[in-house]
Amino acid sequence: MSDVKGVEVNIMGREFTIACPPDERESLLNAVGYLDKKMCDIRDAGKVVGVERIAMMAALNLAHELLSTRSGGVDVGGMKGKIARMQSLVDTAIAEQNKLF
């Protein structure tokens, strides 16, 4: 079982403690920063009032971004796999090249 710890985060000036495994902490903090920026941008635009409404608009915007990315034919998981395979090929080629010297 992983060692889950509470991570203190701040979203729109509000403090939250979120349970998170240590190896996912950086990813969580990146997500929090992205969400905080989206919510602050919506708040600062002045067209939406209230934290719940701002959160709902941010959620809708993020869902739209995700679905747009998916429908655009971009498969992030697939791309990561391709990059890993390419890296492996590069590593193999470099190792073979180093044997020649």
Within a domain: 96: no
What integer pLDDT is reported at residue 72 of this predicted model? 63
What integer pLDDT is reported at residue 55 of this predicted model? 92
Q: Which domain does 28 fall in, by range?
A: 5-74
Within a domain: 10: yes
Counted domains in the chain:
1
Residue 19, judged by CB atoms within 10 A of its CB (0-12, 13-18, 19+), counts as exposed
C-alpha 3/C-alpha 25 separation (Å) is 12
Instruction: Going from the first residue of the chain to its last (101 residues), give the mean pLDDT of each consecutive group of 10, the final group possibly shorter.
Output: 84 93 92 94 90 91 80 66 80 77 66
